Homo-oligomer: A and B are copies of this chain.
Amino acid sequence: MLLNDPSEPGGIEVVALDADDTLWHSEVFFERTQRRFTELVRRYVDHDVDVDRALFEVEHRNLGRYGYGIKGFTLSMLEAAIEVTGGAIGTVEIEQLLAAGRTMLDHPVDLIDGVDDVMTELAERGYRLVVVTKGDLHHQQHKIFASGLTDRFERIEIVSEKDPDTYRKVAASMGVAPPSFCMVGNSVRSDVLPVLEMGGHAVHVPYHVTWAHEHAQHNGDVPTLASIRELPGWLESRRGP
């Protein structure tokens, strides 16, 4: 097996990976909790009320205040539940929503199929690995530790926004120029477009569920893999003849 040669011009040296829904399952737990939210709130509102829409709007207006993560999501669920029911929702349901948030935080880390093998293979091929994730510092650090993957990564970058400037800083902190940097993630908007904009490589590995706030319009000209298992082969194919 040929090792990746970082001295090759334009060769990818650093592979950066998103965490939630790229390394492990996450959105599926948000979806499950949101179904519980809908079920609890439905007891108090007419059938034509769009309960999911109400939650989406509360999440949206709180995004600048709460940032990303389960705690902010739980607080937005509570606010939306009170708002959409005009205060009619009971303390019993509030308590159940609080418990649903705690259950999400306590859930064991569930690696996506292939992740463990692929991380090992990339490390063996000489790629330097870094995690770049948005979200809650405390919970993300807990998940990375619990994933058992900590020692594969040279750095863990928990960032508050994924924009071109953030990726420029991450590449610099790894000591490489953008053409030697490749980001891998499930969000075209957060993991692909801003990296292409700053001159790096990026590849989209879709997850079967996407958070409504992460949907992005794009021209379809984005490298996409069906599974993270295809990542080592794709990286090799970028090395040219």
Q: Which residues of A contact B (CB under 8 A)?
A: 62, 65-68, 71-72, 74-75, 78-79, 82, 87-92, 94-95, 98, 101-102, 105-106, 136-139, 141, 158, 160
The smallest beta-carbon distance between A77 and chain B, in angstroms, is 11
Closest residue of chain B to A173, judged by CB?
B173
Closest residue of chain B to A79, judged by CB?
B98
| Total identical chains | 2
24 A-B pairs, CB-CB below 8 angstroms? A62-B102, A65-B102, A65-B106, A66-B105, A66-B138, A67-B137, A67-B138, A67-B139, A68-B138, A71-B71, A75-B98, A78-B98, A82-B94, A87-B91, A87-B92, A90-B91, A94-B94, A136-B136, A136-B137, A137-B137, A137-B158, A137-B160, A138-B160, A141-B160
User: 9 tightest CB-CB pairs across the interface, nearest first?
Assistant: A67-B138, A137-B137, A71-B71, A87-B91, A141-B160, A138-B160, A65-B105, A82-B95, A79-B98
Q: A95-B87, A160-B137, A160-B141 are in contact. Are A72 and B71 (CB under 8 A)?
A: yes
Among A75, A87, A137, A141, chain B packs the most CB atoms within 10 A around the CB of A137
Contact of B94 with A78 in the complex, beta carbons under 8 Å: yes
The answer for the CA separation of A158 and B141 in the assembled complex, in Å, is: 12
Chain B residues, CB < 8 A from A67:
136-139
The smallest beta-carbon distance between A78 and chain B, in angstroms, is 6
